[in-house]
Amino acid sequence: MAIPLEELQLAARNHGLPLEALRYSVTPIGLHYLLIHFDIPAVDADAWWLELGGLVERPLTLSLDELKARPEATIPVTLECAGNGRALLRGDRASSQPWLVEAVGTAEWTGTPLAPLLAEAGPAPDAAEVVFTGIDRGVQGDVEHDYARSLPLAEALREEVLLAYAVNGRPLPPQHGFPLRLVVPGWYGMTSVKWLRSIEVVAEPFAGWQQAVAYHLRADAEDEGRPVTRMEPRSLLVPPGIPDFLSRARFVPPGPCLLTGRAWSGRGPVERLEVSADGGRSWAEAELEEPLGEFAWRGWSYEWQAEPGEHELCCRATDAAGRTQPLEPPWNLEGLCNNAVQRVQVVVRG
């Protein structure tokens, strides 16, 4: 496998979670994954406001202070990039950010719930979707556009959907959407539009590039595909022992070795976590911690008896809906929603 310069340019500017940072139930700022399509915009919060309009009875214009004066909620949310795992796909996939497994993080997002604001504006009877548009502008797929995504009205009205102005107790840093971003718990990260400037209620399915063209599961270029929505179940383990700098292989002494990690799903609570030390041929049950929250990852642990030799550690989450992780990456052209099990090479030596 080799990565072309175009993809390296993206890998150099977008940030993954260093896997040892899975030890933190809430990811420290600076370690959470970041996928930024265009540029981080420079926003003067004093000259910024949010427009809420379209098919509503009472369009609203809100300053940051007005948003902060509204009811406030804080929710721990696990966000994962829909392209996580892309670089591990076999086959001639489309070029994009070459994530391995590290495009994830969990933060405590603070903001005001969207549903009461939408209710206040009063969607028209024919309202179908809500379009969220950011300040960030660029060209993708030969189309110049502001980054924008939509949600079905019913999803936008879920009580856990936030307009967030703080993360981990601090104002949003520029890279996480300052001054305001959407946070849609349970969905892949592309949904949680950063640097929000407008929210528009519409009657027709939104045809913007990031909605209608990107983020579709397609078998090939002719396939219309299915849109990406909620996160598939996934789990990661903290690579144990110490690493080799270049290969990232791990060295572990023989004996008991506590494996730990996190697991999540956007389709229901994680109810089972299995660990394999032989690359997925045999599995054992891990212990799940209490959930951090309904929309955040769940810690797990498993005491592995490390025998001298070479091992391939894997973990596999199963959610309440019975969905689990495949051993091999599921194919789609854009390399989306690849929740195949992580594989960590370990050498046990005395």
Which residues form the interface with a second copy (CB under 8 A)?
Answer: 1-13, 15-16, 18-21, 23-24, 28-32, 34, 36-40, 42, 87, 95-96, 98-100, 102, 137-140, 144, 173-176, 239, 242-248, 251
Residue 229 backbone dihedrals phi, psi, to 5 degrees:
-130, -95
From the CB of 142, what's the least distance to a second copy, in Å?
9
From the CB of 99, what's the least distance to a second copy, in Å?
7
Angle at 85 between CA 79 and CA 90, to 5 degrees: 160
Residue 263 backbone dihedrals phi, psi, to 5 degrees:
-140, 145
Nearest to 238 by CA among 210, 265, 214, 257: 257
Of 137 and 267, which CB lies nearer to a second copy in the complex structure? Answer: 137
Of 142 and 222, which CB lies nearer to a second copy in the complex structure? Answer: 142
From the CB of 123, what's the least distance to a second copy, in Å?
32
CB 26 within 8 A of CB 8: no
Element housing 289 (H / E):
none
From the CB of 18, what's the least distance to a second copy, in Å?
5
From the CB of 70, what's the least distance to a second copy, in Å?
26
Q: 272-306 burial by CB neighbour count: b if 16+ within 10 A, else e?
A: bbbbbbeebeeeeebebbebbbebbbbbbbbebeb
Q: Amino acid identity, residue 245?
A: F
Of 27 and 332, which CB lies nearer to a second copy in the complex structure? Answer: 27
Q: 156-174 burial by CB neighbour count: b if 16+ within 10 A, else e?
A: bbeebbbbbbbbbeeebee
Quote the CA–CA distance of 36 and 175 in Å, as a whole number.
8
Quote the CA–CA distance of 155 and 306 in Å, as a whole number.
46
Concatenated DSSP letters of 161-195 = -EEEEEETTEEPPGGGTTT-EEE-TTB-GGGS-SS
From the CB of 165, what's the least distance to a second copy, in Å?
16
Of 147 and 300, which CB lies nearer to a second copy in the complex structure? Answer: 147
Of 216 and 230, which CB lies nearer to a second copy in the complex structure? Answer: 216
Nearest to 137 by CA among 210, 62, 81: 210
CB 283 within 8 A of CB 242: no
Of 117 and 193, which CB lies nearer to a second copy in the complex structure? Answer: 193
Of 210 and 318, which CB lies nearer to a second copy in the complex structure? Answer: 210
From the CB of 203, what's the least distance to a second copy, in Å?
29
Written as six digits, the tokens of 244 are: 């080799």
Of 116 and 255, which CB lies nearer to a second copy in the complex structure? Answer: 255
From the CB of 322, what's the least distance to a second copy, in Å?
31
